[in-house]
Chain A
Amino acid sequence: NAGVTQTPKFRVLKTGQSMTLLCAQDMNHEYMYWYRQDPGMGLRLIHYSVGEGTTAKGEVPDGYNVSRLKKQNFLLGLESAAPSQTSVYFCASSYPHRRSGNTDTQYFGPGTRLTVL
């Protein structure tokens, strides 16, 4: 089991460029998430998905788009990168809590360090 993998590990963009971050999980989890991590701010949720073909906005969705065409993959897109999007991006997946259906334990990928110049 590879768990949760993220591609690429590092990327440098110029302002205005676009890119897609790929997240893949092999645990057959229903739920997937994209977070950004900035110093002193913990993790903030960008977008999430509770199943194939569904996505929803998190806490900081502006400037990002996502797609979940396959259950095992969750893509995060930056259409026009800005310096404020310099951050470390983490993908996570989760199974639903057996009673409530809400998020249980999340499994995280190793992160993508993105710098926007």
Chain B
Amino acid sequence: AQSVTQPDIHITVSEGASLELRCNYSYGATPYLFWYVQSPGQGLQLLLKYFSGDTLVQGIKGFEAEFKRSQSSFNLRKPSVHWSDAAEYFCAVGAITGGFKTIFGAGTRLFVKA
């Protein structure tokens, strides 16, 4: 069965510092991979996605993620965090074939300190 693990429940970084949020998945083949962001009191918004091709994908707001098949990982990165990046981040896995369901990780809450 598909599963998604986000090992860090919350992370605190200083404004201007780099960020990496971890995501590991369990799936029998290469799945579709997504990162979504949720600001307080709002719905989720797509940051970036990976379906195939180049394993380094660029997203909105200066985020990028790298798919590593050997590690079953899809970590999210940003070189310099802004205070407005404080939010909850969700990694998600979708099936390539035979299904319409997306499995979400439990989320990582990012705190940014001045």
A interface residues (Cβ-Cβ under 8 A, vs B)? 4, 31, 35, 40-45, 48, 50, 56, 58-59, 90, 92, 97, 100, 102-111
Contacts and interface: CB of A to CB of B under 8 A. Distances in A.
| Chain B: interface size category | 20 to 34
Interface string B22-51: 000000000010101000011111100101
B96 interface: yes
7 contacts: A4-B43, A35-B104, A40-B106, A44-B104, A108-B44, A111-B42, A111-B43
A102 B90 contact: no
Contacts of B42: 110-111
Given A102-B32, A102-B95, A43 B104 contact: yes
Contacts of B105: 42
Given A110-B42, A111-B42, A102 B34 contact: no
Contact of A90 (B41, B43, B99, B100): B43
A103 B102 contact: yes
A102 B100 CA distance: 5
Given A42-B107, A97-B51, A102-B96, A108 B43 contact: yes
B24 to A, nearest CB: 14
Contact of B101 (A58, A97, A104): A58
Contacts of B34: 105
Contacts of A111: 41-43
Nearest to B6: A42
B71 interface: no
B104 A102 contact: no
B102 A105 contact: no
B91 to A, nearest CB: 9
Contact of B49 (A44, A90, A105): A105
A103 B43 contact: no
A48 B101 contact: yes
Interface string B79-105: 000000000001000111101111011
